[in-house]
Amino acid sequence: MSAPGPEQPEILEGRAAFAARALQLVRGARQELLLRSDALERGAYGSEEFADAVKTFLLGNERARLCVLVRQPQEAARNAPRLVELGRRLSSRVEFREPTPEQGELDPGEWLLADRRMLLERQSPEALQAQFWAEEPRRGKTRGEDYDQLWNEAQPAQEMRSLGI
């Protein structure tokens, strides 16, 4: 990991570092978490600790919400069943969507954005290197706008609601 400077990200190496920063980001969120993922990698999003942190976030503020845009909903449900089950139980605060066929193939980038200021991203789910910004509202605003556009064109991920896990 390299030390960040002003507006410079912290460079993370390896899946464990990514998972640790994802957990830190969730614990630092106050109102909104936006997650864009290929299939909710088990090591980052499938743990009980991650699901508990999301639950604490969601129950800590009546306006808190989690939006998950996932490219492969069936695989995501297998990788992160605790998170999916939490979404079912707190359905007024958690929503899962998937890209529509009209959106075509999205780039494989993965982001987790908290309150449009704290950002964790990597180029693809397989990437071993990631970037983390602890406080970057300008970049967060841009990523949030990109996410909103994808989200508004996406469709509800039915598999996440009905799949028996």
Residues 65 and 92: their CA atoms lie apart, in Å, by: 8
pLDDT at 3: 53
104-135: pLDDT as tens digits: 677 778 999 999 999 999 998 888 999 999 99
pLDDT at 162: 53
Domain locations in the chain as residue ranges: 10-162
165 pLDDT higher than 50:
no
Tokens encoding 40: 């909710």
8-49: pLDDT as tens digits: 899 999 999 999 999 999 999 999 999 999 999 999 999 999
pLDDT at 101: 81
pLDDT at 108: 79
Pairwise pLDDT comparison (164 vs 75), residue with the higher score = 75
What does the CA dihedral 126, 130, 135, 140 come to, rounded to 10 degrees? -50
Q: Where are the beta strands (DSSP E) in the chain?
A: 10-13, 32-37, 65-70, 94-98, 110-114, 118-122, 129-133, 155-156
In which band, very low, low, confident or very high, does the pLDDT at 160 lie, cut at 50, 70 and 90?
Answer: confident
Mean pLDDT across 154-160:
87
Quickly name the fold that domain 10-162 has: Endonuclease; Chain A (3.30.870)
pLDDT at 1: 52
74-101: pLDDT as tens digits: 999 999 999 999 999 999 999 999 998 8
8-18: pLDDT as tens digits: 899 999 999 99
Tokens encoding 61: 């503020």
Q: How far is CA 105 from CA 21, 115, 160, 161, in A?
A: 27, 27, 20, 23
* Nearest Cα to Cα of residue 33 among 123, 132, 122, 147: 147
